[in-house]
Structure 1
Amino acid sequence: RRLASTRNPATARPLLLTHSRGIAYKLFVGGLSQFATEDSLAEAFSRYGQVIEATIVTDKVTNRPKGFGFVKFASEEEARNARDEMNGKVLNGRVIYVDIAKAKPDRAADVLPIARGPPKTIGDN
């Protein structure tokens, strides 16, 4: 759920700044109840600053929530304050875990290079 419009450049600016400055403004929220919604997640965190986006990750096959999500803030200070205040709190009847989101690992680094022809042996030029 995006809370800043991408159509109006004036309101899209915080969203663009968040993406360009990195992951420090994005929080990981674990331990979410199956009844948590993106709206309730955004509302719970909005008391600590401007929430740009709140998402709950769902299973691609069943479309059911996986129990975690992310909240993006307009500033690093707001994100850190929200993390400090919300970590260990109860949301929708469940204790939640909140931390600064970490970048996804580079999946390309895990893939072996594609072979181009037969392997060379010692003495081949």
Structure 2
Amino acid sequence: MAMAALRGVSRCLASRGSAAAARPMLLAHSRGITYKLFIGGLSHFATEDSLAEAFSRYGQVIEATVVTDKVTNRPKGFGFVKFASEEEANNAREEMNGKVLNGRVIYVDIAKAKPDRDADARPIARGPPKPIGND
């Protein structure tokens, strides 16, 4: 039943012409089938488009992001690239690690999951400490 609905949606997208190019990206992204790479050492002139263009020769780039500072809105020097398959991501990692991009040597590795902030949280102080001794 679900596969029939998925086929119907893909036929509908394919019949629209211009939306057909976006179809693989939408389907891969909606299924959660993405492989994320961390890109370090980026130039401060790097853009998401230039990052996507550099990595697109190794496979289907779902998304490319350059992390920026919230206050100054300038790039922090690292970013992420999402690929549609694990094989494409591994190939891009092997080929691009240590290469020069926009005049700087970049470092490429598999992105790690964000640490859970609740696990590392410290207890909140609730007033002055209780005196020790002399009961």
Runs of 5+ consecutive residues of structure 2 not aligned to the other structure: 1-18, 127-135
* Equivalence map 1:45-124=2 (5 Å): 45-112=55-122
Aligned-residue identity in percent? 79
Structure 1 position 31 matched with structure 2 position 41? yes
Q: Aligned pair in 2 of structure 1 residues 60, 90: CA closer, same or farther (>3 Å)?
A: same
Give every structure 1 segment of 4 or more consecutive aligned residues whose post-TM-superposition deviation is greater than 4 Å.
8-11, 113-116
Q: Which has the higher contact order (CA 8 A, sep 6+)?
A: 1
| 2:15 match | none
The alignment covers a number of residue pairs equal to 106
The secondary structure found in structure 2 opposite 1:43 is: helix
Q: Provide the rounded CA distance (Å) in 2 between the counterparts of 1:79 and 1:31.
A: 18
Structure number having the greater helix percentage:
2
Q: SS of 2:73's equivalent?
A: coil
Larger Rg: 2
RMSD, aligned CA: 2.2
- Please report the TM-score for the alignment, with normalisation by the length of structure 2: 0.71
Which stretches in structure 1 are left out of the alignment for 5+ residues?
117-125
> Which of 28, 40, 62 does residue 14 from structure 1 map onto?
28
Bigger Cα displacement from structure 2, 75-84 vs 104-113: 104-113
